[in-house]
Structure 1
């Protein structure tokens, strides 16, 4: 039974990744979902901010309020999420150094180079990602999901995973 559920989850994730790949050249209209794309190069520095998320507390978000996640399969300053994974979980990319928002510790904010050469934002050594299943700012639909070989969690202001 567990294998069937895991296979169904995997199939659904790949279907979502395929659908997202086919429309990755477009940017959603303002107010109609996050405006990130796993294939687009950033044109400006990324900003990491914080937001109160009810039961999850203060969590990391981008400058538009979109939730950021860490991947437990990553190692310090190294992303292990590429290809279909990076489509379902787009990395937070930046041009130049990332910028510090409200409640963010500048000493914990940095970048790492992805396998394709893009600059990905890290916080406390954790590469940061969006979740394609979050369709509007403030959503945390990726919290605690187990996909692509490990779990995904939002981060607190210290850069640690938040368990719900």
Structure 2
């Protein structure tokens, strides 16, 4: 393995800010995308949440631009008449997930095809016992504990990234909660998925299947798929940020960077192969192996040469990765620790 001095990976800090702004594509002169009211229950926005300055996973909504954006009045409202019951017909369970202030629906290239994920990259599923005509959820009680519905606060924004807004809607559940629908089908996460991109719920009970972007069920089995390693996360910058759950290291896009507990640090070596390599992108330095640093001591940064010839950045000897499906910013996926993944700090 070839090692280079840490100083060879660094560049002037001033360039960091300029490059990060260029990569984000933020143009302060460009108008923010206008959301569309959906029956007063949700607002549909045909753009990523980051386009209006939102970060995190939907629990917080602290950006002035997003809070003050006025919705357009041109879209047909979502029909909430066909629900599983009236808003007052049942009380939510004590351990039910809190409705999010905003939701992002994104597409992800997974081993079974193109799936739908939330902003943190977790796969969204549909239930065969539900109905799309009319949209109805039959998953409640213990079912909803294993399969948490995608809930949003009334009037909240649903950011649609890579899908058609016409396919997105909402229903009122028996407990009064507002649940997001895709192609008329209520959307859920699976409690057994621990890291973004997991597909542990696929085919469960022959009733739960991942969403395709048009709302159809993907019925392929993971075992029949040809797993391919994810493309590297090519970044020019590593920056220290204060995330919702503590200090973190992020790439050009603001995505949290992780370490893998099974990797070696002396000398640095990656143990992420097979399924792991399909879900986690190695962080690779651009520009001839140089990476700009913001708020990080250059003595902590090194690199290792991978078999494909690219240089994977290391921090304190640990190879760095980004989750391929995670499209959030400044957010730590705490559940990933169960599989040995911890945020780089």
If the length of structure 2 is used for normalisation, what is the TM-score?
0.35
- Counterpart residue number, 2:143: 85
1:57 deviates by 1.2
From the superposition, tell whether residues 84 and 109 of structure 1 become closer, same or farther in structure 2 (CA, over 3 Å).
same
Question: 2:115 — aligned with what?
Answer: 59
**Whole-angstrom distance in 2 between the partners of 1:94 and 1:38:** 16
Question: What is the match of residue 7 of structure 1?
Answer: none
- Larger strand percent: 2
Aligned Cα root-mean-square deviation (Å): 1.8
After superposition, residues 122-161 of structure 1 pair within 5 angstroms as: 122-146=181-205, 151-161=207-217
User: What is residue 169 of structure 2 aligned with on the other side?
Assistant: 110
Structure label with greater radius of gyration: 2
Match of 1:30 in 2: none
Distance in 2 (alpha carbons) for counterparts of 1:143 and 1:38: 24
Q: Secondary structure at the match of 1:60?
A: strand
Tell me if the contact between 1:120 and 1:127 (Cα under 8 Å) persists in the aligned partners.
Answer: yes
Per-residue deviation, residues 43-93 of structure 1 (Å, max 9, x unmatched)? 412111111102x11111001101000000001211000000000000000
Equivalents in 1 of 2:160, 2:100: separation in Å? 18
Higher relative contact order (CA 8 A, sep 6+): 1
SS of structure 2 residue aligned to 1:112: strand
Residues 52 and 119 of structure 1, relative CA distance in 2, 3 Å threshold: same
Aligned residue in 1 for 2:107: 50
Alpha-carbon distance in 2 for matches of 1:111, 1:155: 16
Q: Which has the higher helix share?
A: 1
| C-alpha spacing 1:103/1:38, structure 2 compared with 1 (3 Å) | farther
Aligned pair count reads: 125
1:41 positional shift = 2.4
* 5+ long unaligned stretches in structure 1: 1-34
8 A contact 2:101–2:156 mirrored in 1:
no
Distance (Å, rounded) in 1 between the aligned partners of 2:160 and 2:96:
25
Q: TM-score when scaled to structure 1?
A: 0.71
What is the deviation of 1:102?
A: 2.0
Equivalent pair of 1:126/1:159 in contact (CA under 8 Å): yes
Distance 1:38 1:111, change over 3 A: farther
SS in 2 for 1:86: helix
C-alpha distance 61-114 of structure 1, shift in aligned 2 (>3 A): same
Contact 2:171–2:181, Cα closer than 8 Å, also in 1: yes
TM-aligned CA distance change 1:100 to 1:43, over 3 Å = closer
